[in-house]
């Protein structure tokens, strides 16, 4: 029997075993409930499950999840972020917060591991939506507000002086990347050109490494 995993249902979870996993699909056998013994296939990991497919979580015990319109995201354990105290904050939940229907688009992007651009008028709920999803799943977030004061060294890092000579201090972007934090680039339309050029470079590098990974896998 394959690895134990949990498949979301409308009410909770079905315990399943993963029989086979390829780059195009995962084959499962259901181990509990009314469908016990049935085999099913679902899309591969990292593909948004959306309205059509349940989500699958590989774990010995049933995971906690945040659910919205057929989608779900696993609630993270604080122990998954050993450097939490130095770099980012866990976001407090606002109660009540209304997760409007477009939340599902953001969740699909999160599952796919995509960068997301939210645009709209002031106060429509762009920043709070990201932060409130993070709050519900225990995802640490670094938030930078481009109010004209953010410098390249705030973002990338700077050389400082330590006991043994010069040291490199990571800025917000490498801190987020090294630790698995989200980074919210608030009011990015007010960022200076030298800051925007860094993001363009990062996106090029990420695209390059993604295409190298695909080539290496295929
Ligand atoms: N769906 C919502 N439910 C509850 N409060 C909300 C919602 N959307 C926005 N708010 C509140 O409205 C205020 C402005 O939202 P914010 O996310 O900062 O807007 P934006 O980033 O688009 O300018 C915040 O205090 C936020 O908590
Ligand atoms: Mg905002």
Taking CA atoms, 65 is separated from 72, 75, 91, 115, 144, in Å, by 6, 5, 17, 21, 27
Q: How far is the CA of 131 from the centre of ligand 1 (A)?
A: 10
Please tell me the distance from the alpha carbon of residue 31 to that of residue 189, in angstroms, as a whole number: 50
The binding-site residues of ligand 1, defined as CB within 6 angstroms of any ligand atom, are 94, 97-98, 100, 120, 122-128
Query: Two tokens at 20?
Result: 């086979």
Are 136 and 75 within 8 A, CB to CB?
A: yes
pTM: 0.88
Measured from the CA of 122, which atom of ligand 1 is nearest? 23
How many helical (H) and strand (E) elements, i.e. helices and strands, does the chain have? 6, 11
Distance, CA 190 to ligand 2 centroid (Å)? 12
Q: Separation of 81 CA from ligand 1 center, angstroms? A: 27
- pLDDT of 128 > 90? The answer is yes
How distant is the alpha carbon of residue 51 from its chain centre?
19
pLDDT digits (tens, 9 = 90+) for 60-118: 999 999 999 989 999 999 999 888 765 568 899 999 999 999 999 999 999 988 889 99
Please name which of 142, 140, 172 lies closest in space to residue 156, comparing C-alpha atoms: 172
| Structure confidence at residue 155 (pLDDT) | 93
What are the domain boundaries of the chain? 3-63, 78-217
Residue 198 near residue 156, CB atoms below 8 Å: yes
pLDDT digit string (tens) for 150-176? 999 999 999 999 899 999 999 999 999
- What is the third-level CATH fold of 78-217? Rossmann fold (3.40.50)
Around ion ligand 2, residues with a beta carbon closer than 5 Å are 126-127
Distance between CA 33 and CA 54 in Å, rounded?
15
């Amino acid at each position: 029997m394959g690895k134990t995993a949990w498949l979301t249902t409308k009410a909770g979870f079905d315990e399943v075993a993963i029989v086979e996993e390829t780059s195009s699909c995962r084959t499962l056998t259901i181990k509990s409930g009314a469908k016990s013994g049935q085999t099913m296939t679902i899309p591969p990991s990292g593909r948004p499950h959306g309205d059509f497919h349940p989500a699958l979580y590989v774990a010995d015990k049933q995971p906690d999840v945040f659910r919205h319109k057929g989608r779900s995201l696993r609630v993270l354990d604080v122990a998954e972020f050993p450097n939490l105290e130095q770099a980012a904050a866990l976001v407090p939940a606002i109660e009540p917060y209304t997760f409007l229907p477009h939340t599902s688009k953001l969740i699909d992007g999160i599952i796919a591991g995509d960068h997301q651009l939210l645009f709209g008028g002031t106060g429509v709920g762009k920043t709070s939506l990201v932060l409130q999803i993070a709050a519900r799943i225990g995802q640490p977030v670094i938030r930078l507000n481009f109010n004209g004061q953010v410098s390249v060294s705030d973002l990338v890092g700077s050389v400082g002086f330590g006991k043994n000579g010069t040291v490199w201090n990571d800025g917000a972007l490498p801190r987020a990347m090294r630790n698995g934090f989200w980074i919210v680039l608030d009011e990015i339309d007010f960022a200076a050109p030298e800051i925007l050029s860094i993001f363009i470079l990062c996106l090029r590098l990420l695209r390059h490494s993604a295409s190298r990974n695909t080539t290496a896998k295929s």
